[in-house]
């Protein structure tokens, strides 16, 4: 049910807001996510999005009969089949890439990178040695004196870098890697 605005000042303000919307909202991107089961995540504050990504991965792994528990410390997000795991989430950016952020050299064995597009999901399970070889220490997220502790990974989902291809790509591929932890 759509509500009517009766106050002429509110109508004027709403009209101005609608005109400004085009400056702030990517209507094409908004349309691409319309009807997506993942679209609601885009509307959540950024401080919640990472947690939602963690919960999605943990729930998916548990539903696939993998043993999942919370990490007892802040150095990893979960322990899956006895392995310490850091979970990174990205939605598909306008550039057509997933951008996984805030990689740190902490105490975890693997990073699980979950990328969501409107109607598909991609997933990579990357060992810490591979992260150190290609990401941590190589792709700084921030510049300057304070910027050397966080790193990021940009992934074109249809043509990931060669080294990343061994780490999954589809949910089925990622599950195969996770199942091998048993």
Q: Give pLDDT, residue 3.
A: 79
Q: Give pLDDT, residue 137.
A: 83
Q: Give pLDDT, residue 147.
A: 56
Q: Give pLDDT, residue 22.
A: 74
Q: Give pLDDT, residue 17.
A: 83
CATH number belonging to domain 45-179: 3.40.1350.10
pTM of the predicted protein model: 0.86
- pLDDT per residue rounded down to tens, the chain (182 residues): 677 888 788 878 888 888 777 777 777 888 889 999 999 999 899 889 999 999 999 999 999 999 999 999 999 999 999 999 999 999 999 899 999 999 999 999 999 999 999 999 999 999 999 999 999 888 778 765 555 688 899 999 999 999 999 999 999 999 999 999 98
Q: Give pLDDT, residue 88.
A: 97
Residue 61 burial class via C-beta count within 10 angstroms: exposed 0-12, middle 13-18, buried 19 and up: buried
């Amino acid at each position: 049910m759509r509500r009517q605005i009766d106050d002429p000042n509110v109508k004027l303000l709403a009209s101005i807001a609608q005109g400004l919307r085009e400056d702030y909202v990517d209507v094409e991107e908004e349309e691409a996510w319309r009807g997506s089961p993942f679209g609601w995540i885009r509307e959540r504050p950024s401080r919640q999005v990472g947690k939602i990504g963690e919960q999605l991965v943990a729930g998916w792994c548990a539903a696939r009969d993998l043993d999942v528990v919370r990490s007892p410390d802040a150095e990893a997000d979960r322990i899956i089949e006895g392995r310490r795991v850091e979970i990174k989430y990205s939605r598909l950016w306008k550039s057509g890439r997933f951008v996984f952020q805030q990689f740190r050299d902490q105490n975890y064995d693997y990073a699980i990178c979950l990328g969501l597009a409107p109607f598909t999901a991609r997933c990579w399970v990357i060992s810490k040695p591979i992260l150190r070889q290609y990401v941590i220490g190589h792709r700084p997220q921030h510049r300057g004196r304070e910027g050397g502790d966080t790193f990021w990974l940009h992934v074109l989902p249809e043509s990931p870098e060669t080294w990343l291809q061994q780490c999954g790509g589809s949910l089925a591929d990622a599950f195969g890697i996770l199942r091998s932890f048993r």
